[in-house]
Amino acid sequence: MLDTTGRIVEDQFNRRGPRASRPADMPLSTSPLDAFINPIRAAIGPRAYGLKHRQRTNRMLMLMQLHANHPDDVHAYTHLIRECLQGNQGRPGVDRRAVADTRGVPSLR
């Protein structure tokens, strides 16, 4: 779905040409994407204060992207997580702190 809308917006941008050569009364609009952006914005808004960990935030954004493009499946994720836990005697395959900000690289604070 986002792929199709992205192509529509890209075509619009291409037809209008570079900003420097475009008349002032010809604005660029991304309104076709609003239907996809607004739910993401609404989901992030109340949680924005907690999005300080770069890797976890990126993983959350990837999941939101999957959801927006519709290939996400809660039941498939549940099945895969259950299989992984059963294979590791109920424990995750990686250390709880495996996803950590790299020392020396600033977090998103």
Q: 15 near 49, Cβ under 8 Å?
A: no
For residue 40, being part of any structural domain is answered with: no
For residue 1, being part of any structural domain is answered with: no
What is the domain count for the chain? 1
Q: 67 near 60, Cβ under 8 Å?
A: no
Closest CA to 11 of 28, 24, 23, 26: 28
Whole-structure pTM over 0.85, yes or no?
Answer: no
For residue 23, being part of any structural domain is answered with: no
Q: Which domain holds residue 55?
A: 45-92
pLDDT per residue as tens, the chain (109 positions): 556 667 777 777 777 777 777 777 766 666 767 777 788 888 888 878 778 777 778 888 888 888 877 778 889 889 988 998 899 888 877 776 666 666 766 666 5
For residue 33, being part of any structural domain is answered with: no
